[in-house]
Amino acid sequence: MEFQKHCVGIDISRLTFTACICSKLLNQDVKFSEVRTFSNDKKGFNQLNRWVVKELEDTSVLVYLMEATGVYYEKLAYHLFKIKKSVHVVLPNKTKHYFASLNVKSKTDEQDAKVLSQFGVERNHFVWNPPHPIYLELRNLTRYHHQLQTQRTSLSNIKHSKEESYSVQSFVLKSNKMLIKSIDKQIASCKKEIERLVNSDAELKEKANNILSMKGVGLLTVATIIAETLGFEQFHNVKQLVSYAGFDIVQRESGTSIKGKSRISKKVNKYIRNALYFPALVACRYNENLKNTYLEIVKRKPSKMIGVVAIQRKLLILVYTLWNKNESYQDDYKSKVAPTKAEATRDNS
């Protein structure tokens, strides 16, 4: 029996991962191995390697495919890369569309691993390489900054409730005030560390400064977008980026029987969405091009928030454009992205 390609599909979670091998024959038929579950640690990684070798006689054309969900995939991806395996890390929106094309409705670890393995042999994917370490450092800092801000908001709400309550002890009020003051110091220190890290790399600093030429876009916004996309390494066109951030439109129409409202996707990267909210509000007032777009949208739509979300989407595309072209923003800048390196090679995504 001669094979064209093998793929180990991996559905991964915090403690375990489930794997299945799909083998594509020269006559285009596919066959699947049994599904196995391993611990998400070095012991499990080694067991996976031994299992794959035992299952396959020919490993000349072998790839591993997993989703870029959260951070749980990273240790396994780095392990496979270090032992010189071909790894594909795909965005969740790509696998979602593939699952839909197969009309797969059940959602189990075993089913997901099986479909991912089939996805790996039936489609061509970009080989994954570890992102530049500076992007991982930046992501740690920007996410920590967001978490500190969330804690500060929670403490501020407590402060307000206690101040409005009857007869609250001075100890409670004083303690709350001290916690807020302490977190404020950590937020300021974290912001300085983000700035230091961006300025430590000449290319990153140059590209970030180009993006910062947009009115209303600050360092934290730019740093967050760069960090969450890991320098846009996994994004090869605007459609992928917009979908990843949750700004793609989901249509709800089917013949004449279903006429639901269109809405934005709920599968989002919350850090990107949060980072773009206030810059979008500023752009709606002070960026003439985007302001006109915003006003046109709110004339047709019942909610101003729809207009704000549309401007968030446009800002994200502008950031991506300026990053790829390494250009600064001009007032008449068009938000169309020139073909990227991947689009030039006709990416199948």
Write out pLDDT tens, residues 84-125.
999 999 988 788 888 888 887 778 999 999 999 999 999 989
d(CA 346, CA 233): 16
Amino acid present at 22: C
Q: Are residues 189 and 297 in the same domain?
A: no
* Distant-in-sequence, close-in-space partners of 268: CB < 8 Å, separation ≥ 6: 245, 246
Per the structure, the complete domain to which residue 250 belongs is given by 223-345
Domain-located, residue 259: yes
Determine the pLDDT at residue 92.
Answer: 83
Residue with more model confidence, 340 or 277: 277
Q: Which CATH number do you get for residue 12?
A: 3.30.420.40
Q: What are the angstrom distances between the C-alpha of 180 and each of 47, 148, 195?
A: 48, 10, 23
> 109, 167, 152, 337: which is closest to 241 by C-alpha?
337
Distance separating the N- and C-terminal Cα atoms of the chain:
31
pLDDT per position as a tens digit, 259-288: 455 555 555 688 999 999 999 999 999 888
User: To the nearest whole percent, how much of the chain has pLDDT over 90?
Assistant: 65
Domain tally, the chain: 3
Rg of the chain over CA atoms, in angstroms?
24
CA dihedral 71, 111, 120, 39 (to 10 degrees): 40
Same domain, 97 and 140: no
Calpha distance 47→79 (Å, rounded): 13
User: What's the CA gap between 319 and 207, in Å, rounded?
Assistant: 10
Q: What is the pTM of this model?
A: 0.80
Predicted local distance difference test score (pLDDT) of residue 107: 80
How far apart, in Å, are the Cα atoms of 288 and each of 4, 82, 219, 256? 55, 50, 22, 40
